[in-house]
Structure 1
Amino acid sequence: MKINVDIDCTPEEARAFFGLPDVAPMQAAVMKEMQDRVVAAMRGTDAETLLKTWMPGGAAGLEQMQKMFWNAFGATGGSSKEGGK
């Protein structure tokens, strides 16, 4: 024998029926805090701030890093021309 019981109720009604607490106010507070933190973190992501954070020397530090990369790649890569081909 198989018996099916369908109960049509909202999550809030089911939570109240089983005696579970209403966590909607806590969820709203947590989401507000998360939103505030994300917005605050996004304020620090403009290009100028990121460049200052990553490259303390600013443009001069970027140029030094580019030279270092080109020197490293030039030393290991050799010439790009292949014997006159």
Structure 2
Amino acid sequence: MNISVNVDCTPQELRAFLGLPDVAPMQKSIMDEMERRLLESMEHLSPSAMLRDWFSPSGTMQQGLLNLFQPGRMQAGGDTSDDDSQD
């Protein structure tokens, strides 16, 4: 014996019938906050802002490049600390 029941209602009506809370206001506030944060971060990702960060005099990009080339510069300069200990 099979019994089938078809219920025609909207999701909001079903939530109310089952006693579940209405989460639409919470979802709207979360989406508004996400949109605000996204628009704030878009300002930092503009091409002019990126170039300003990369080429600023006190930028971390220049310090990173200097740190990258530091070991080669030390070897090319002739680190003589090991040679003095052999005399």
TM-score bracket, normalised by the shorter chain, equals 0.5 to 0.7
- SS of 2:2's equivalent in the other structure is coil
Pick the structure with greater CA Rg.
2
Find runs of 4+ consecutive structure 1 residues off by over 3 angstroms.
54-58
Deviation of 1:55 after TM superposition, in Å, equals 4.1
2: CA distance, partners of 1:42 / 1:14: 39
2: CA distance, partners of 1:15 / 1:45: 41
The normalised TM-score by structure 1 is: 0.61
The normalised TM-score by structure 2 is: 0.60
Deviation of 1:21 after TM superposition, in Å, equals 0.5
> 2:54 is aligned with what amino acid?
W
1:3 to 1:49, Cα distance in 2 relative to 1, 3 A: same
Task: Identify unmatched segments of 5+ residues in structure 1.
Answer: 69-85
What are the within-5 Å matches in structure 2 for residues 1-85 of structure 1?
1-57=1-57
CA RMSD, aligned part only? 2.2
How many residue pairs get matched? 62
- SS of 2:20's equivalent in the other structure is coil
Task: Identify unmatched segments of 5+ residues in structure 2.
Answer: 70-87
